[in-house]
Amino acid sequence: MSAIEPDVVDEARRLLAAAEAEGLRLRLIGGAAVRLHVQGDLHPAFAREIRDIDVVTGKGDGRRAGSFIEAQGYTPNRTFNAMHGARRLLFYDDDNGRQLDVFVNSFEMCHVLPVGEHLDRDPLTVPLADLLLTKLQIVTLNAKDRSDAYAVLLEHELGPNDVERIDAARIADLCARDWGLYRTLQINFERLLGALPESGLDDGHQHLVAERVTGIATAVESAPKSVKWKARARVGDRVRWYEEPDEVAQGGY
């Protein structure tokens, strides 16, 4: 009988506990990670089905993480894993129709995020700043990712403590390293603010989210930028600044 839990959040918790028992660092990203950081009930405006599980492991731990996930009852995509296993691994929960992604050290979609840098700062997920970035690095921001970003911003104040606070300085630092990431976030900050009237939040909550978005955006703009960064900024949108993420199987982040 499979040990995999039918409820996706319960299953994420089970996997994390089993990994910890084996001394393997796994941290959640994606919708399940957002759900774990919500205190109490999720705001009804942000309720959505979570179809898949996404985790990050540390540099050099991909092979071990792959063996662990397979031992937990998941079916590996052997072709994909053989080709891309140094950076990403795919598995399937056939009984529940779910996909499980393992990102090794970095999260690579439209931009490369070094999410493996701070895996020890939260026992369950990547830090909130990195979790928010995995949503806002998407150039074509969809309703699902916008909703998850709003949920994180509504529930958490800005601050330097990574546990249950969003470290704006971390986001600013990563944007100062990469003009392309900066540009995508600049666009998505505007999208978040522009879509707030249709978010399902009341005026007070809209104001709170807008204040936090503006706080992060201000930190990003204020961070010192390198000569190389400024040179790329002068080129601007004339050259594409992001990658088109690969669509794999029927799942997705």
pLDDT in tens, 183-204: 999 999 999 999 999 999 999 9
Would you give the distance in Å from CA 63 to the centre of its chain?
A: 22
Instruction: Report the 10 Å Cβ neighbour count for 133.
Output: 25
Residue 41 falls inside a structural domain: yes
Residue 75 falls inside a structural domain: yes
Q: How far apart are CA 107 and CA 134, in angstroms?
A: 7
Structurally, the chain folds into a number of domains equal to 1
Structural domain range at position 62:
8-238
Task: Mean pLDDT check: name the lowest of 28-42, 110-124, 188-202.
Answer: 28-42
Residue 251 falls inside a structural domain: no
Q: In this predicted structure, what is the pLDDT of residue 229? A: 98
Higher pLDDT, 112 or 250: 112
Query: For residue 251, is pLDDT > 60?
Result: no
Residue 179 falls inside a structural domain: yes
Q: In this predicted structure, what is the pLDDT of residue 252? A: 44
Nearest to 242 by CA among 137, 86, 155: 137
Which element (helix H / strand E) includes 104?
strand 98-104
Residue 244 falls inside a structural domain: no
Residue carrying structure tokens 């990994």: 19
Residue 137 falls inside a structural domain: yes
Q: In this predicted structure, what is the pLDDT of residue 162? A: 67
Burial of 200 (0-12, 13-18, 19+ CB in 10 A): middle
Q: In this predicted structure, what is the pLDDT of residue 163? A: 76
The tokens of 95 are what? 């009984």
Residue 1 falls inside a structural domain: no
Cβ(101)–Cβ(251) under 8 Å?
A: yes
Residue 55 falls inside a structural domain: yes
pLDDT in tens, 66-83: 999 999 999 999 999 999
